[in-house]
Structure formats: structure tokens, C-alpha cells
Amino acid sequence: MIRPGKQATLLPKQPPLSNLELTSREPPAIFAVNDRRATTGLAPGSRAERLASSRVWICLSVAILFGLATSPACSATRSQTKSPAPRPELGTKAKPKGIIHVVQPGQTLFRISQAYQVKVASLMEANRLKPSTPLKVGQRLFIPGAEAAKKVEASRSLTVEERQALEQSLREEVTAPPPPTEPPRPRVKTDAELLWPIVGPLNSPFGPRRGKFHAGIDIGSPHYQEVVAAADGEVIYADATKGGLGKAVVLQHGREFRTVYAHLSIIIARDGDTVRQGQAIGGVGETGRASGPHLHFEVRKNGVPLNPEEFLPATIDELVRDLQRKR
């Protein structure tokens, strides 16, 4: 079993300046509703988080004892965890900010999260929803932080043609490198848009391989290790491909981005499901063309495979290597 908490090997992060922000005025859908885990590196319930929160308590106790508001060490610790909630005025009840959205036909949690730019996990928490529970028409959802109603697109499954094109792309092996669409992003970075779908060694990177082109990365892992969604999204494919990728799941994140999870032993996600970042979608396997169990993971932008490593947090090995280079 693996939990997103395992991602605690990441370092604290700085606000990203993604290429999308440089090239597009539109909010980058895949990044816009990023998870705290991916930006702070402190996964809920992880040892690092427990440590940080116990430090907060120690600091608070010390501050109370000595009548100090904050010490620099304490504020540094606190900024790593949670910013203090604004104190309500005396005599007034603190009302959580947000609005009520009434679910219309075809609307899913993912589409609502996209429209309001709120994480799926936040919507689920605010409304006490369970994963993969379909919304009901007329259901009232509290949208935390929202100030005005937004237009929410109805979810729709792929058309026959779109599905065929996707299946074809999952069957073919890329023989030529895709044309570069954007300048490569700095490799070792401390911010990240995606979560590692599993923790494991990078067995085969993105790029030319044996006269062909490897359109994703291979992450080594034992059989049945839980594969999680790298970002909030919608399941658009959860089936056995007829090609080398074996059993695969494809998630749609916003309009442009898709992620592919292949060679799975089992598929948990179902077509049309909303998945939140870190939610289990299947188990590692070696279906299709695979020499041993591993996860083949792809990031596609408008159908063009991009190097997933550019969107993932640096591994601890990379950070150590980077530190050694600086010395």
C-alpha cells in the first residue's frame, strides 16, 4: 500500500512560474488547483507534518509562557504549516466564505472544481462527499472560497471518433521524437504540478530508446502497488488497450492535459469518474509489453507527449546531486 503521504521526500516549494503562465493568459487548468501536499511537501499525517505541527505547539507553549507573540523561529515553523485563520470579531459568528452551487445535469465534481478553481479534495471535504459518489441533480454543494456563481460545463464522455483516436494513440509506439512545443523546463525543481503516481526508481526515462521514442517514463515497483492520480481529473479511459500498454487509465486534466497510466494489473477507476489528486486508480502490473512489473506514465499536452519529469517534484537523489554540484 502506498499513500500520498509517502511523497514527503519532497522539499518545501516555491511558487512555480510555469511555461503555461508565460505563454498563456488562461489559467493553466492542470496547475491551477494544485494540492497543498505538492506545494509544501508536508503530506497530511506524514512524519514531517506531525513534526511541524508539534513544533508549532511547542512554539505556542513557549510563547504563552514567556508572553511573546511570536519568535522568528516560531513564525518560520508556522508558515510551513498553516496560516492562522482570521480571528472573528467578538460577538459575530465566523461564517466560512463560499457560495452554494446547485448541481445541474451532467455536472461532475471535477467540472465544478475546474470552474471554481477549487481542489476536488476541498469540495469533498466541505461537503463530506465520498470518492466516486456521483452527484445528484439539484444537490446543493458548498463551494469554499467562491464569491460568485460560475458557469460549469457538463461532463461528456468521448465521442466514438475521439475514443478511437485515443485507443490508436495508446496502441502505437512513437518512433520519432515529438516536435518540441515548448522550451524544456528546468529539470531539478522544487515546485511541482503533479504528484508521483507511485514511488519507485526511474527505470527508463522519457526520450529516444532503441531506435524508437519512449513517450513516457517507467517507474519500477512491485506488483499491485497502488497507482494514484497525479492530479485532479476525469477518467476518460479505463480499459485494456490492444497494444503494448496493456491495461491503462487515461485522465483528462482541464482542456489540454492528459496523463496515462499503463501496464496495470487491476483498474479501480471507472470511465467518467472524477478523481482527486492522490486517489487510487489501479494497481501496478505487467500487462501488455512489459518485462517485469512497472508503471509506464505519460503526460500529454494536446496529444503530444511531454517529459513527465518536468512536471513532477525532484526526487531526493536529484536534490542530493544538485546540492553536491553546488558545493
Residues in contact with Zn ion by the rule CB under 5 A: 218, 296
For residue 235, which of 204, 258, 218, 210 has the smallest C-alpha distance?
Answer: 258
Name the residue with cell 471507472. Answer: 270
**Pair 194, 307: CB distance under 8 Å:** no
Residue 169 C-alpha cell reads as 494513440
- Would you say 126 or 304 has its CB closer to Zn ion? 304
Question: CB atoms < 10 A from the CB of 316, how many?
Answer: 11
Alpha-carbon distances of 65 from 52, 54, 59, 68, rounded to whole Å: 20, 16, 10, 8
Of 145 and 292, which has the nearer Cβ to Zn ion? 292
For residue 202, the minimal CB distance to Zn ion (Å) is 11
Nearest CA to 232 among 109, 99, 100, 101?
Answer: 109
Q: Which C-beta is closer to Zn ion: that of 34 or that of 225? A: 225
One-letter amino acid at 16 equals P
Q: How far is the CB of 246 from Zn ion (least distance, A)?
A: 11
Choice between 55 and 209, CB closer to Zn ion: 209
DSSP 298: E
Query: Would you call 99 helix, strand, or coil by DSSP?
Result: strand
Report the residue count for the chain: 327
216 or 233, CB closer to Zn ion?
216
3 state DSSP class of 126: helix
Closer to Zn ion by CB, 218 or 273: give it. 218
| Closest to Zn ion by CB, 101 or 296 | 296
Q: Which of 299, 270, 298, 263 is nearest to 284 (CA)?
A: 263
Cβ-contact 207, 177 below 8 angstroms: yes
Q: Within 10 Å of residue 8's Cβ, how many Cβ atoms?
A: 18
How far CA 176 is from CA of 173, 180, 203, 211, 213, in Å, comes to: 9, 12, 21, 9, 6
Identity of the residue, 6 or 209, whose beta carbon is nearer to Zn ion in the bound complex: 209
Q: C-alpha grid cell for residue 187? A: 529539470
Determine the residue with CB nearest Zn ion: 296
Query: Which one, 111 or 296, has the nearer CB to Zn ion?
Result: 296
Q: How far is the CB of 296 from Zn ion (least distance, A)?
A: 3
Going by the DSSP 8-state scheme, the letter that residue 4 receives in this structure is G
